[in-house]
Structure 1
Amino acid sequence: MKNRPLVGVTLSFVLGILAANFLNISLFFASLITIALAAISLCLLLFDRRECVFSILMFILLSGIIYHQFRTFSSSPDNISHFIKDDKLPARLRGVVLADPIIRHMLSSSLTTPLLQQEVATFLVRAEAVEYTPKESTYVDKREEKISDIRPDNSSGRHWKKITGTMKVNVYPRVQAHSINKKEDNLKTKNQFLVNFVKYGDRIELSGYLSKPSAPRNPEQFDYKAFLQRQRPHIDVIANLTSVKSIQILSRKQGNYFFGSVYSLKRKLTTIINRYVAEGSVPLVCSIVLGDREKVDYNLMDGFIKTGTIHFLAISGFHVGILVISLHFFLRFLGIQTKYLAIIIILFAFMYATITGMKTPILRASIMVATFYGAHVFNRRWDLPNSISAAVLLILIINPSDLFNSGFQLSVLAMLGIIFTSRRIEDRLWKSTHMIEKLQANCERNTVLLLLRRYCRKTFCASVSAWFAVAPLIAYHFNLVTPVALLLNIVVLPLIWCILVGGFLLLLMGGLAVPVLAPLFAWMVSCSEMALRNIILLFSSNSNIFYYTAGASWIWVFIYYVVATIFVLRKSFRIKFERMVIAVLLLLNIFIFSGFLAEKRDYLQLTCFDVKHGTAIFIQFPNGKNMLFDSGTWSNFDVGKRIVAPFLWERKVDTIDTIVISHEHEDHCNGIPSLVERFTVKNVFINKFMLQSGRKKELLKSMRKERIGISLLADGLEITGYEPAKITVLNPPDKDTLMRDEQVRHRLTTNDTSCVLLIEYLGYKIVLSADVGESGIKLLLSNNDTPLKNRSEDFVTDILQVPHHGGFIENTEELIRRLRPKYAIISGNRGIASTATIGAYQRSGAKVFKTFQDGALSFTIGKEGIVFSKFIND
């Protein structure tokens, strides 16, 4: 603390932020204690400085609590989020654009058509005013006023109310807009027109649908609302537009002059890259050089993730390090004095951070560069722990919520791993090599072969250090392990250096209009990009180089980093190496064998996920096996990847014993491919109608590629292996039934051929009916070969999945009379669920649950009966 005060200060501030996030401490209570501690610390500082250290650290800790609560949750009374009562509220607003629009790729989840990448343009707007009608308004208060200087014409009876807050605007390509002017016709898409039409600092008026950021509606689902709340600035509202015609420019250059100049410079730099670099190489080059990762193709981005090299795309301290080191040697070559060299590099680092959007990792690296080279400017001794602490502290002051950002965590851990362990690993593995190199003459040590060996050795050690530093956290956050990155980094690093350094030289030459050198650097960058792209796609196509995992709990991740810290600092703690090895082996045995001591399951649990218009139901059986009944939705949203997979990983499920695909419609199966890729799937059951249609050939082909057993279902069959539970197939009808009645065969729709399952356990009955329709229900109830043939009072369905997402079906009441359900589940959205259907079930005495209202639903059947829970409570 005496020699490195910033270390203690930063740790105290970090603990305060953690306490505020997990303990939900009252802001008022924390403020009172902070004031009291400030007074105590001041008194101790005046009378006994030795005793005031603890009080000061506690004061900083409480300051971290207050600062986090204030920055994260405080908002003004006229914030736009207070004015939205319902989702998708149509509104007209005015505000100032806070960032240039960017185009993101939205991947289609359709299984019947090739994967398409639709474009959506996004940008941020600082809200200034909202239009409303006084008679209809429910939120008018004394502060309302007309903004006549913005809209003089109020003849329509509508007025403008001043508001605050930040909006994220999304322009979706669902509706083809007419040309706004002739320039739009010359561009490929209307979103590309928008990027050139709207710029930072524009005051705009827009019409769209407003909604609050969505909170999770399923267990372990990504909390998008909390994510946006932790951004800088935090986003209060999302505005969705379907046409660029919904945006009108009122005035230009209403933003900050400095940032306006930065965005203008970045647009010019992007234009230079587009002009000189090969067209196919532009997205990846822009990502590596300027941080525009949104332009990268989905398949290539996925390849970087699977090979563990995604950090090369995310602008970080690594990029700053390459540029700073290259610039350092270049300035040294020119003979510039150390003090001036340091000033130039500091200015360059912050200029690069500004151009790339002041992202947290690059800002941290720039601060560390400033502390390192600043020591040379002021002739001070540079201290690494203090520099790291200063960088972390400044970033958390800018945005305390960055502490919970996985990118920030991984960036800091990778840096610490390389700094504190890379040299130690190299010394231990190549100890004799170092001794030989020291005895060699300078001319012998500087040969090309030895320099190449030294590069490979140091890069490998740095890669190992970084990998072991971040691997547990990557497995915890992303459930992915990529050991190939240890060796692939050696090959990728030179290509990244060529693209990054060559890209900056290209920007410099292109900006200075040097006609000879600019194409030369562009050729070097393009060739390096093509080589990098081919290497990544080649390795990522092999599924054996990466694997998905359920990951460890946060407790084991915490233990890992505590043990790693003690291991690195063992000499300071005077702990022998042999004792550390014994302790690590002991903990490793506890970790491995703890998985075999899992709690025995003596109950059946059914979880129905909220996937909007779709179905995804997961069942865990008493014998330890599981079953997934459908996984899909009618939207460009991967249910398997975003909802089902996180749920399974949290429950340490890495194998799906059975997947039942009820029928071929997208809202029941377009989430299956992601699950097949991420989990071991033993069996898949489909109906023969799905096989006959041939519309899901690619899906079935991917399953056969993974050597998954595919079987056909028909009524009367049983799915075995789940005893003591019993699973009976009630639908689709078998071939004999259809042969007896040709009219029935022609009357059946795709929905009517849905697989219907009856699950029985401890006398309780569950019926999963998928999308079975009127004809299917009629056939189901009249079939003498099913358990539904008897209308005795003994047959009661305890849990029924309402057919076709709760939509209207003519013979619903007949189905209710026959099955007499106690609990009815409607898996769908508000638009398809019929009030008549809901009313029919309620009149029968069934308790109706709706996923669009209650979120995910869980039913546990045991000896105590049925216990249900809703993810969203009233």
Structure 2
Amino acid sequence: MRSQAGFYGTCACMIGGLAAGLAGRSWAIGCVLLFCIASLYYTKRSFDDLSIRHRLFILSLTLLSIVYGLACEQMNRTSLPDAMNGRIVEAEGTIVSGIKLDGDRLSFQYRVSKLRTPDARSAYSHAAGRGTAEEDVEEIRDLHEKMQVTIYLESQAEQQEAASWIRGMEIRLTGELQIPSSARNFGDFDYRSYLKKQRIHWQIRMEGMSSIVIKSRPGLSGQLLLGSIDRFRNHLTDLVWSLYDERYAGFMQGLLIGDQQRLPQDLYDQFSDIGMTHVLAISGLHVGVFTAGCFWMLKLLRLTREKIYAVSFALVPMYVLGTGASPSAVRAGLMAMLGLVALRLGRWKDTLRFLLIAAVGMLMVNPYFLYNISFQLSFVVTFGLILLVPRIAGMIRLRSAAISGSLAVTAAAQIFSFPIVIYYFHLLHLLSPAANLLLVPLVSVLILPLGMLSLLLGVVHTALGAWPAAIASLAAEGLFRAVEWTAGWQGLLTIWPRVPFWWIAAYYLLILFLFIGLPRLKGLISRRLLKMLVLLTGSLFISLLLYAQIGDRWRQAGIVSVLDVGQGDAILIRTPHGRHLLIDGGGTFRFGEQEAWRARRDPYEVGKDTLVPLLRRRGIQRLDAVIATHLDADHIGGLHAVLENIPTERILYNGTTKDSAYADRLVHTAREKGIPLIRVSAGRTWQADKDTRLQFLHPIVDQEGNGEAVPEVSDQNGASVVFLLQMQDASFLLTGDIGSAEERKVIDYIQEAGARNVLLPDKRFIDVLKVAHHGSRYSTSDDWLGYWQPAVAAISVGRNSYGHPSEDVLGRLMEHGVKMYRTDEHGEIQFMSSGGKLYLRTKYWGTEGEHP
């Protein structure tokens, strides 16, 4: 027991030291050292057999872990200057990852050994302060920089050629060198940070494969060996698709080979909603079934127990490599191998020790596994199973040990995975525990073993594998229907905002104290005191859950966020009393008919990939209103995904129709979800809460209802909804895509209404103007700016070929003394109204301040 405590403490200190070193923050390192010293002091008082030398050894390992983490982070740098960004380069190197082919998009990781460009050396040397352009050569040798390559294929022949590529191939290519993009909105996915944790700092973008030259005879290397494994996996993939119908083949490919590239996105989303994606990733479940299958087959061959252990030990790493060697698969493989050793030596009770050995070993090889979601979930859940399953099973005490064990495993897994799941995915389906309890055994007992058997027999002859494949398909159909039915209970899908790190630490400490600490206090303290501790711990635990669910709803501040969605509009409003409004939803453009071979399984879509995750990350349980200013694709294209995934109270729109797929889909989704479509026009107001009022100024409709907003309008810009948002003491004018003609009509309408004593904006001098039509030169006239006299202008714009924002508009804004912020330069632009002041911050360049 004493040596175990010392070993656990040593591993915990090493992992904590490594994490602090990678974080590179003095406060993190200080916390780890304080924890280490406190642990050693506790150890000294409790276990006198640990010598001073042993304690100093633990402290030394912790310090070395910190230094190792700091060194890894310091060395994780690029050797190329930022001046190389956007240049066309010719690179030579080796493919060092599996090939991902999705429609007309090909991507892989590439180890560059030589980089050549007409001015590459000049830029490199100038940045380093060496020489002049005249003295420099045109190439950089011995670079050894890993890069992400993306190729947009130009023909189906190129797609077929790319399908034959494998890891280890040496190629020469020419493309544009780019710095990976970082998060454009607060809390958004950061692709640059994601690649950095894989030691990648550059990407190369190419159009077509015409400039690629493949080396005919690549040298023997470890990458080429891995490439041979990739080729073997490709053969297994072909076998899966020959054994299974299309409905099941993508699922079985992910389940058996660990390749989810062809898994239907809607099926993955359903598994994700009910918290069952872990069955789709190679993990302990799959390795356990494989190891059990090996035992069964080797036993049929009448091998001795010792030989069965030895052969299984050798086969497990082959299985892990053959399924892609993801962090969860590596963890499970190491645990299985250590478990086999433990069985052979009769030390099966040391499971926790083996788990920590596997964790430390993997982190010493690659410290950045700490940031990998698969690694975190795999180890945390396994740790929870080891600690809690015996205790929970003892509490349940059912007659059937199997049922007690199953309930305990499900409960322990849900309890320990919960903080990580809501931190990264922000979703929890209330039926998730029941789904895992009932459906995971279907996978582990029937579908997965039959699938493995179908591949094993299918290698011999396809007809032999067809029989188990047919049974597995029937079971998979039952699984699909159960998952679809469960995911259909959308009302039980809860959304959780991102929780802080202190919350996660407090959660796990309370769980450990509740299940391990309190039981050990029995007999040491009075029963009354024990009950009080149980009530206190339970109350703290419930308070933590309420805090995580409620988020900032009690915060009395209004926030207007001009989101960066590229060339489009999306504005999120949080009122001082916690109501949420979404103005437009951006859009992803599709031009013309697409050839079938170009179609991607999961194409980027701004609503699904940017807006919905962002809303969930900010803990938005429902939208009180969606306002579609007009029906153009760059304003409503992303709203379909929002309405599908976020409960919405109402949709306000301009009262027109348009002959477009985007408009039809918006209306169809609203009717399907039972969301009322409410027409708004000039003169209407909406009191969103007691401190928030919307006054609509456009479209202007006459009393007979036959005004400018006609039933069908092909050119929607002039029919845009315009409204003045007054929130506490701040005012925002949101303008859609109106032009200067509509601006003049709005001004005239306000002046005429004022003459008729109609209640209209009582504040002409506004704080923030959302510049109309992304800064088009046909909008934001001098008259408009002179009438409203805004202090700040926000321009929602992305990369485009329209010349937005126009130099004319920028010039007019400067002449009127208006401060300008643009989403293409500043990222998200966020305004917060609180305490009578208006605060501003942007995602880029740290622009922060207050506007009286």
- SS of the counterpart of 2:123? coil
| C-alpha contact (below 8 Å) 1:395/1:402 kept by paired residues | yes
Give the counterpart of 1:304 among 251, 271, 274. Answer: 271
What TM-score does the superposition give when structure 1 sets the normalisation length? 0.82
| C-alpha contact (below 8 Å) 2:150/2:205 kept by paired residues | yes
Amino acid corresponding to residue 571 of structure 2 in structure 1: I
- SS of the counterpart of 2:186? coil
| C-alpha contact (below 8 Å) 2:656/2:712 kept by paired residues | no
Residue 820 of structure 1 aligns with which residue?
789
1:99 is the counterpart of 2:97: yes
Q: How many Å apart are 1:141 and its aligned residue?
A: 6.4
Instruction: Summarize the Cα distance change of 1:308–1:380 in structure 2 as closer, same or farther, 3 Å threshold.
Output: closer
1:559 is the counterpart of 2:506: yes
| C-alpha contact (below 8 Å) 2:106/2:150 kept by paired residues | yes
Residue 811 of structure 2 aligns with which residue?
839
Aligned-partner Cα distance in 2 for 1:608–1:240: 29
Residue 765 of structure 1 aligns with which residue?
731
Residue 321 of structure 2 aligns with which residue?
354
1:626 is the counterpart of 2:559: no
| C-alpha contact (below 8 Å) 1:719/1:728 kept by paired residues | yes
Amino acid corresponding to residue 20 of structure 1 in structure 2: G
Gaps of 5+ in 1: 34-47, 105-117, 146-156, 185-189, 435-453
| C-alpha contact (below 8 Å) 2:584/2:627 kept by paired residues | yes
Q: How many Å apart are 1:382 and its aligned residue?
A: 5.4
Aligned-partner Cα distance in 1 for 2:618–2:265: 29
When the two chains are superposed, the root-mean-square deviation of aligned CA atoms in Å is 3.7
Residue 60 of structure 2 aligns with which residue?
59
| C-alpha contact (below 8 Å) 2:588/2:638 kept by paired residues | no
Match runs of 1:556-635 below 5 Å: 556-570=503-517, 573-575=520-522, 578-579=531-532, 581-588=534-541, 590-591=543-544, 603-634=557-588
Instruction: Summarize the Cα distance change of 1:792–1:335 in structure 2 as closer, same or farther, 3 Å threshold.
Output: closer
Q: How many Å apart are 1:143 and its aligned residue?
A: 11
Aligned-partner Cα distance in 1 for 2:116–2:552: 58
Q: How many Å apart are 1:410 and its aligned residue?
A: 1.6
| C-alpha contact (below 8 Å) 2:282/2:329 kept by paired residues | yes
The CA deviation string for residues 662-691 of structure 1, in whole angstroms up to 9 with x for no partner, is 111222223323333444422221111147
1:481 is the counterpart of 2:428: yes
Aligned-partner Cα distance in 1 for 2:622–2:422: 17
Q: How many Å apart are 1:596 and its aligned residue?
A: 8.2
The CA deviation string for residues 432-477 of structure 1, in whole angstroms up to 9 with x for no partner, is 445xxxxxxxxxxxxxxxxxxx4x5543432232122212321232
Q: How many Å apart are 1:760 and its aligned residue?
A: 2.9
Q: How many Å apart are 1:871 and its aligned residue?
A: 1.9
| C-alpha contact (below 8 Å) 1:204/1:251 kept by paired residues | no
- SS of the counterpart of 1:419? helix
Amino acid corresponding to residue 817 of structure 1 in structure 2: G
Aligned-partner Cα distance in 1 for 2:755–2:96: 65
Q: How many Å apart are 1:811 and its aligned residue?
A: 6.3
Q: How many Å apart are 1:564 and its aligned residue?
A: 1.6
Q: How many Å apart are 1:828 and its aligned residue?
A: 0.6
Q: How many Å apart are 1:249 and its aligned residue?
A: 1.4
Match runs of 1:636-715 below 5 Å: 637-645=604-612, 648-649=615-616, 652-690=619-657, 696-715=663-682
The CA deviation string for residues 278-313 of structure 1, in whole angstroms up to 9 with x for no partner, is 344322111111100121011111111112211110
Residue 848 of structure 1 aligns with which residue?
820
- SS of the counterpart of 1:633? coil
Match runs of 1:417-432 below 5 Å: 417-432=384-399
Amino acid corresponding to residue 194 of structure 1 in structure 2: A
1:796 is the counterpart of 2:765: yes
The CA deviation string for residues 102-132 of structure 1, in whole angstroms up to 9 with x for no partner, is 234xxxxxxxxxxxxx553221111122221
Amino acid corresponding to residue 442 of structure 2 in structure 1: P
Instruction: Summarize the Cα distance change of 1:709–1:14 in structure 2 as closer, same or farther, 3 Å threshold.
Output: same
| C-alpha contact (below 8 Å) 1:781/1:788 kept by paired residues | no
Amino acid corresponding to residue 503 of structure 1 in structure 2: G
Q: How many Å apart are 1:335 and its aligned residue?
A: 3.1
| C-alpha contact (below 8 Å) 2:518/2:534 kept by paired residues | no
Instruction: Summarize the Cα distance change of 1:76–1:682 in structure 2 as closer, same or farther, 3 Å threshold.
Output: closer
Match runs of 1:470-549 below 5 Å: 470-489=417-436, 490-511=438-459, 513-514=460-461, 517-544=464-491, 546-549=493-496
- SS of the counterpart of 2:329? helix
Q: How many Å apart are 1:394 and its aligned residue?
A: 0.9
| C-alpha contact (below 8 Å) 1:683/1:710 kept by paired residues | yes
- SS of the counterpart of 2:831? strand
Residue 172 of structure 1 aligns with which residue?
152
Residue 861 of structure 1 aligns with which residue?
833
| C-alpha contact (below 8 Å) 1:338/1:376 kept by paired residues | no
| C-alpha contact (below 8 Å) 1:144/1:161 kept by paired residues | no
Match runs of 1:43-192 below 5 Å: 50-75=51-76, 79-80=79-80, 82=81, 85-86=84-85, 88-104=86-102, 120-134=105-119, 137-140=122-125, 161-172=141-152, 176-177=154-155, 184=157, 190-192=158-160
Aligned-partner Cα distance in 2 for 1:377–1:798: 74
Aligned-partner Cα distance in 2 for 1:478–1:267: 31
Q: How many Å apart are 1:850 and its aligned residue?
A: 1.0
Aligned-partner Cα distance in 1 for 2:546–2:283: 38
Q: How many Å apart are 1:873 and its aligned residue?
A: 1.5
Amino acid corresponding to residue 585 of structure 1 in structure 2: G
Residue 110 of structure 1 aligns with which residue?
none
Residue 721 of structure 2 aligns with which residue?
755
Match runs of 1:235-384 below 5 Å: 235-254=200-219, 255-256=221-222, 257-377=224-344, 383-384=350-351
The CA deviation string for residues 380-400 of structure 1, in whole angstroms up to 9 with x for no partner, is 675112111101111111221
Q: How many Å apart are 1:862 and its aligned residue?
A: 4.4
Q: How many Å apart are 1:638 and its aligned residue?
A: 4.4
Instruction: Summarize the Cα distance change of 1:135–1:647 in structure 2 as closer, same or farther, 3 Å threshold.
Output: closer
Amino acid corresponding to residue 583 of structure 1 in structure 2: L
What TM-score does the superposition give when structure 2 sets the normalisation length? 0.84
Instruction: Summarize the Cα distance change of 1:389–1:596 in structure 2 as closer, same or farther, 3 Å threshold.
Output: closer
Give the counterpart of 1:807 among 763, 771, 776. Answer: 776
Amino acid corresponding to residue 854 of structure 1 in structure 2: H
Amino acid corresponding to residue 630 of structure 1 in structure 2: D
1:730 is the counterpart of 2:710: no
Q: How many Å apart are 1:606 and its aligned residue?
A: 1.7
Aligned-partner Cα distance in 1 for 2:553–2:661: 43
| C-alpha contact (below 8 Å) 2:831/2:841 kept by paired residues | yes
Aligned-partner Cα distance in 1 for 2:416–2:434: 16
| C-alpha contact (below 8 Å) 1:659/1:685 kept by paired residues | yes
Instruction: Summarize the Cα distance change of 1:845–1:389 in structure 2 as closer, same or farther, 3 Å threshold.
Output: same
Q: How many Å apart are 1:855 and its aligned residue?
A: 1.5
Give the counterpart of 2:741 among 775, 781, 786. Answer: 775
Q: How many Å apart are 1:642 and its aligned residue?
A: 4.8
Amino acid corresponding to residue 106 of structure 2 in structure 1: A
Deviates more, 1:334-343 or 1:520-529: 520-529
The CA deviation string for residues 514-538 of structure 1, in whole angstroms up to 9 with x for no partner, is 4653333333444444443343334
Aligned-partner Cα distance in 1 for 2:228–2:216: 17
Aligned-partner Cα distance in 1 for 2:87–2:367: 32
- Quick one: percent identity of the two aligned structures? 21
The CA deviation string for residues 20-51 of structure 1, in whole angstroms up to 9 with x for no partner, is 34452499999x99xxxxxxxxxxxxxx9711
Amino acid corresponding to residue 520 of structure 1 in structure 2: W
| C-alpha contact (below 8 Å) 1:757/1:767 kept by paired residues | yes
Aligned-partner Cα distance in 2 for 1:725–1:539: 38
Q: How many Å apart are 1:733 and its aligned residue?
A: 1.8
Q: How many Å apart are 1:498 and its aligned residue?
A: 3.7
Instruction: Summarize the Cα distance change of 1:690–1:72 in structure 2 as closer, same or farther, 3 Å threshold.
Output: farther
Q: How many Å apart are 1:495 and its aligned residue?
A: 3.7
Aligned-partner Cα distance in 1 for 2:635–2:733: 17
| C-alpha contact (below 8 Å) 1:202/1:250 kept by paired residues | yes
